[in-house]
Structure 1
Amino acid sequence: MSCGEAVMKLLSAYEVDTVFGMAGTMTLELYRGIARAGIRHVQCRNEQGASFMADGYARATGKPGVCTIIGGPGVTNAATGIAQAYCDSQPVLVLSGASPAPTQGKGWGAIHELNDQAAVTAGFTAFSAMVRYPEELPELIARAFAVFRGSRPRPVHLSLPRDVLPTPVEAEWRIRRAPTLPMPDPAAIDQAADRLAQARRPLILVGGGAVGTRKPLTEIAERIGAPVLATNAGKGILPDSHPLSLGCSVLQEASKQALADADVVLLVGSEVAAGDHFVAKLEISGDIIRIDIDPTELTSMYAAAVPIQSDARAALLALSSALASRKPTAQRSQGESRVREILARNAAKLTQVEKLHACAWKILRSALPADAIVMGDATQIVYTGSFAMPMETERCWFYSGSYCALGFALPMAIGAKIGAPHRAVIAVAGDGGVMFTINELATAAEERLALPVIVWNNDALMAIADGMDERQIPRIGVEPRSPDFQRLAESLGCHAVRAASAEHLAQSLRDALVADRPTLIEVRQDSPWLRG
C-alpha cells in the first residue's frame, strides 16, 4: 500500500472514524486511504472550516479531531482554527500536504510552496514536523497521541510531501501505547488539605482541565464550604443549580471581588485566561493551591503556594480523601450564604443590553434539553451567556475567549454535531462574526444536520463600536451592512426564520432541533418583545 493509505489505516487503529477537510492534488493518496479505511470524510468549504470542525468534534467527543488539507494556502487558511485549538488545549491532528521533498527550502516556486511550512505552525502546535520518509510516521503519530492522551492536549501538524505520500510501504504499522497521566505528590496533597481546612474564606476556581472531576470537586466544596467559580471551559462541572456554584461569573465584578477576598484559592485546570474575565490579571491575594497537568502553569503569573502537577481527577480524589480526616474552619452554610450574596450583587449590576441577552438565553434554555451543546462565537450575547445561560452538565458550553477569533461557532457546531449526532447542538453568533464562515452552512446542509444557528443581529461589530464610543472615536469599519440572512441561508440549502416573539423563538428552536437540515434563526437586538 502507499504511504497515504498506511497513514489512514494506522489512524483507524487509533480509533479515528471521521476527518474534516478538502482534497487536493498533493493529498490524493490520503484520500485513497480514507476510502479504504472506511473513515468518514466531511468536505468543508474552506480549510479554516476544517480546522474549526475538527476542534468542535474534539470538544464534543473528547477524542482527537482530525483534518486533512493541502499544503501552502491550505495550511495558512487552517491556521486560525489550529491556533484556537492550541489556546484552548484541544487535541487536533492536522495532516497537510507539502511541496516535494527535494524542493523544500529551495525557493524554486513549487506549487503551494512555503519556505518552511513546519515553522509556520510551530508556534501554535505541540509540535509541527515535515515528514521526509514514510518510516518516520508511526513514531510521529504515536507521539501525537501521547500528547493528546498523556499530557496537556494541543494540536499537532504533520506535513506530508506530495512525493512521500505515494511511496510504497511494506511494513505493518502498529499503534503504540500512550503514557499514563501524572499522579499527585502525596506530600503536596497533605499541604493543600491543611491549608484548605484552615481557610476562613476558601474559594475554588475550575477550568477545562477539571472536566471529569464533579464528584470529588463537589465533596471538597461541600466539606470546606467553598464557593465554586468556573471559567467558560469549566462551566457545568459543578451544576449551576448547586447552592455553592457561582457559575461562570468571573466576568462580573462581585465574583471578581470574591476571588480577591478569598484567603485560600484552589485553582484547578485553568490558565485563568483574560478571555474569561477581560482584565489583564485577576486580583488573587490569598494563597493559591494550584493543580495542573502543565508544569509551566504552576509557575505562571498566578504562582502557587502549593503547586501540584497532576491529572486533575486524581489530585481531587486524593485531596477529598485527605480532607475527610480534617475538621474545616469554614462551614458549608457560610459558603452558600456568600454565594447567594455574590449572585444577587451580580444580578443587580446587569446593563440594559445584558438584560436583553439574558432574556434571549432564558428563552433558548427553555427550548433545549439539559445536555445540549452550545457553541458560542466571539459576540456580546455570548459574553453575557457565560453567566446568564445555566448549565448543569460539563462539555455543554463552549466559547473560545483566549484566541477570540470571529466565526468559529458555526463550523465548530458542525464538528460537534457530527461527533455527537444524538445530542442537540446549536451555534450562537453575531451578525458580523457569522459572516466569517457562513459558507459552511452549505457543509451542514449537505450533511443534513439538524443544526440551529442563532444569529444575534445588532447591525454592528458592537463590542468594538462600544469601545469607539467610549473613547469618542468615530465609528469606522464597525457597521458592515448585513445581508438578508434568511435568503442567504436558504440559498445554501437551509431553513431560515426571523424570530417574531419569545414564543416564536422557542418554537423555532424546537423545530430546528428535529429539522431535515440546518435552520438559521435571526434574532434582532432591537426586537420589542425582548424588552417585554
Structure 2
Amino acid sequence: MNCAQRLIQLLETYGVDTAFGIPGVHTIELYRALGESRMRHCTPRHEQGAGFMADGYARASGKPAACFIITGPGMTNIATAMGQALADSVPMLVFSSVNQRTSLGRGQGRLHEMPNQRETLAGVSVFSHTLHDPEALPEVLARAFAVFTSARPGPVHIEIPLDVLTASAPAKLARPPRIFPPAPAPEAMALAAEWLDSASRPLVLLGGGCSNAADAARDLVERLDAPTFTTINAKGVLGLDHPLDLGATASLPAARRLAREADVVLAIGTELGETDYDLVFDDGFVLDGRLIRIDIDPQQLARNQSADLALLAEAEQAMHALAEQLSGSASRGGSDRAVALRKELALTDDPELAPYVPLFKTLRECLPEAIVVGDSTGPVYAGNFLASLPAPRRWFNAATGFGTLGYGLPAALGAALAQPDHPVVALVGDGGVQFVLGELGTARDLGKAVAVVIWNNDGYDEIRRYMAMNQVPQLGVDLAAPDFQTMAQAFTCRYRHVSDPASFSEALATLEEATSALIIEVDAASWMTSL
C-alpha cells in the first residue's frame, strides 16, 4: 500500500465520504486510490469552486469533506475558499501535492513550483503541514480531526510531496482516537448560574458554535426567559418564529439599546465580531452589563468584548450544565421585551427591507424545508434580518465575515450533496454569479434540482449605492449580464424569468419536476415596481 492509498483508507475510517477536486498530473496517485474506494468524487470547474462546495457540504451536514488539489495554481485558486471557511469556522480537509522532497525550496523552475506552498496556505488554515514521512500520516490526520471535534474548526491543509505519495505506507489500520471537547469548569458554571439567576434583564447571544445544539439552546433561553440575538450562522437554532428570537438584528439602534440595558449578557459560541454586531461599522455595539462568554477557543474569549467571566467549553455541554444549575424557570418579561423590540424594529415596514419581504414569504410558503445558500447580494443582506428558519444549517452565506463573491452557487451544490432530501436554493446576484458560471456545468453533472435564483439588478448594486451615498463616482459597477436563458440552455438547465412574487411562486413550484438545476432570473427593477 502506498501513501495515497493509505490516505483514502484513513479518510474512510474517519467517515469522510465526499471529495471535491480537479485531477492533475501531480495528483493522479490520489485518484488511483480514490478509484478503489467507496468515496464519492465531484469535479468542479475551478479549485475555488471545490473549496466552496466543501464549505457548503460541511455547513449543511456538520461533517468535513475533502478537497484534492494540485500543486501551485490549484492551491492559490482554493485559497479564497479556505479564507471564507476559516473566517466562519467551517471544517475542511485540503490535500495537495507538492514537488519532490529533494527539490523543495530550490527554485529550479519545476512544474507548478512555489517558493513555499505550505507557508502561503498557512494564513488561510488552522494549520498547514508538509508530510515528509508516510508513517506520520495517521498522526497528522488525527491532529486535523482533533481540531474539528474539540477546537474551533476551520480548514486544514496537508501537502504531500510527489515521492511521498508513491512511497510505501504501513498497512496497519490506525484506530481514530476518541476526542472529547473541553468541558465546562464546575466553579465557573456555578458562578455563571448565580449571576444569571439574579439578573432581572438577561440577554443571550448565540453564535455559529451553537449550530449543533439547538435543543440545549432553546431549553436554556426559555429557562432564562431571555431575549436572544442569533448571529447569521446561528439562524434557526431556536426554531421557527420563537418568541424570544430576535434574529441577527444586533446592529440596529433599537436592538443596541436593548443590549445596553441588559444587566447580564450570556454569549455562547460567538466571536462578537463586526459583521454580526456592527454592520454600520461604528463600534456602537456596547454591553454595560456583566458579560459571560462561553467558547471552545481560548483566544476568542479575549477578543472584541472583554468578558467578566470567560468559560472554555463546548457549547452544548456548557448549555446543558448551565441549565441544570439555574434555580428554575423564572419570568423576567423576556417575551414582552422581545415583542416590544420587534414592534420597534418593524423590519417588514423598513423601506430598505420591504421589497424583499414577499420574496422570503414566497420561499417559506413554497419550500419550507429549503436550505438557502447566499452570495453577497441585496436579497441576502435583507434575508439576514428577515428570514426565520425551522432549524440550524438552513441559512448560510458569504455576505459577512470574509465576504467573498462567487460563493453561493458552488456552496449550494455542496449542500445539495450533503442533504439530498432538502430542496436547496442558491440566492445570488447577477454580478456575483459571473465569478462562477462554469459551476453550472457541475450542477449539470450532479443532476440535482437546485434552484439558482439570480437577482438581476444590472451590476454591483450594493456597491453602486454605497458609492452614491459617499459621493464617489460610480465606476466599475455597471455590468452587462449574459443572456441567462441562453446560458441555461447551454448547460441544459431549466430557466424561468420572473418579475413579481406570483411568477416567482410559479417558478419555485417547478423545482422538483426534473433532476436538473432551475435558473430563476428575477428582474429586480420589475419586481420593485410590482409591489
Equivalent position SS for 2:510? helix
Equivalent position SS for 1:352? coil
Aligned-residue Cα RMSD (Å) equals: 1.6
Moved more, 520-529 or 448-457: 520-529
Q: How does 1:155-174 map to 2 (within 5 A)?
A: 155-174=155-174
Q: Closer, same or farther in 2 for the Cα pair 1:353/1:530, shift >3 Å?
A: farther
Q: Given the alignment of the two structures, is residue 321 of structure 1 paired with residue 319 of structure 2, yes or no?
A: no
Supply the distance in 2 between the matched residues of 1:104 and 1:280 (Cα, whole angstroms). 46
- Residue of structure 1 in register with 2:32 after alignment: 32
Task: Say if 2:132 and 2:161, in contact at 8 Å, map to a contact too.
Answer: yes
- Residue of structure 2 in register with 1:151 after alignment: 151
Task: Say if 1:360 and 1:530, in contact at 8 Å, map to a contact too.
Answer: no
Task: Say if 1:356 and 1:530, in contact at 8 Å, map to a contact too.
Answer: no
Q: Given the alignment of the two structures, is residue 287 of structure 1 paired with residue 290 of structure 2, yes or no?
A: yes
Q: Closer, same or farther in 2 for the Cα pair 1:514/1:422, shift >3 Å?
A: farther
- Aligned-pair CA distance for 1:173: 3.6
- Aligned-pair CA distance for 1:280: 5.2
Which structure 1 residue ranges, 5 or more long, are not aligned? none
TM-superposition CA deviations, 1:401-433 (whole Å, max 9, x none): 100000101101101101111111111011111
- Residue of structure 1 in register with 2:391 after alignment: 393
Supply the distance in 1 between the matched residues of 2:334 and 2:530 (Cα, whole angstroms). 34
Q: Which runs of 4+ in 1 moved over 6 A?
A: none
TM-superposition CA deviations, 1:285-325 (whole Å, max 9, x none): 211111111111111121211111101111111111111x2
Task: Say if 2:222 and 2:329, in contact at 8 Å, map to a contact too.
Answer: no
Q: Given the alignment of the two structures, is residue 197 of structure 1 paired with residue 197 of structure 2, yes or no?
A: yes
Equivalent position SS for 2:382? helix
Supply the distance in 1 between the matched residues of 2:465 and 2:373 (Cα, whole angstroms). 24
Task: Say if 1:263 and 1:286, in contact at 8 Å, map to a contact too.
Answer: yes
Moved more, 314-323 or 128-137: 128-137
Task: Say if 1:183 and 1:310, in contact at 8 Å, map to a contact too.
Answer: yes
Moved more, 37-46 or 254-263: 254-263
- Residue of structure 1 in register with 2:459 after alignment: 460
- Aligned-pair CA distance for 1:516: 1.6
Supply the distance in 2 between the matched residues of 1:487 and 1:493 (Cα, whole angstroms). 10
Task: Name the % identity.
Answer: 39
Which structure 2 residue ranges, 5 or more long, are not aligned? none
- Residue of structure 1 in register with 2:94 after alignment: 94
The count of corresponding residues between Structure 1 and Structure 2 is 527
Task: Say if 2:291 and 2:306, in contact at 8 Å, map to a contact too.
Answer: yes
* Aligned partner letter, 2:411: M
Q: Closer, same or farther in 2 for the Cα pair 1:310/1:469, shift >3 Å?
A: same
* Aligned partner letter, 1:295: P
- Aligned-pair CA distance for 1:353: 3.8
* Aligned partner letter, 2:164: V
- Aligned-pair CA distance for 1:78: 0.3
Equivalent position SS for 2:293? strand
Equivalent position SS for 1:41? strand
Q: Given the alignment of the two structures, is residue 335 of structure 1 paired with residue 334 of structure 2, yes or no?
A: yes
Q: Given the alignment of the two structures, is residue 435 of structure 1 paired with residue 434 of structure 2, yes or no?
A: yes
- Aligned-pair CA distance for 1:112: 0.4
Moved more, 410-419 or 233-242: 233-242
Equivalent position SS for 2:509? helix
Equivalent position SS for 2:36? helix
Moved more, 522-531 or 36-45: 522-531
Q: Given the alignment of the two structures, is residue 381 of structure 1 paired with residue 379 of structure 2, yes or no?
A: yes
- Aligned-pair CA distance for 1:374: 0.8
TM-superposition CA deviations, 1:213-270 (whole Å, max 9, x none): 3333233322332101100111111124121111222243322221122121110101
Supply the distance in 1 between the matched residues of 2:289 and 2:367 (Cα, whole angstroms). 39
- Residue of structure 2 in register with 1:501 after alignment: 500
Supply the distance in 2 between the matched residues of 1:351 and 1:469 (Cα, whole angstroms). 20
Task: Say if 1:10 and 1:175, in contact at 8 Å, map to a contact too.
Answer: no
Equivalent position SS for 2:215? helix
Q: Closer, same or farther in 2 for the Cα pair 1:3/1:327, shift >3 Å?
A: closer
Moved more, 206-215 or 518-527: 206-215
Supply the distance in 1 between the matched residues of 2:340 and 2:4 (Cα, whole angstroms). 60
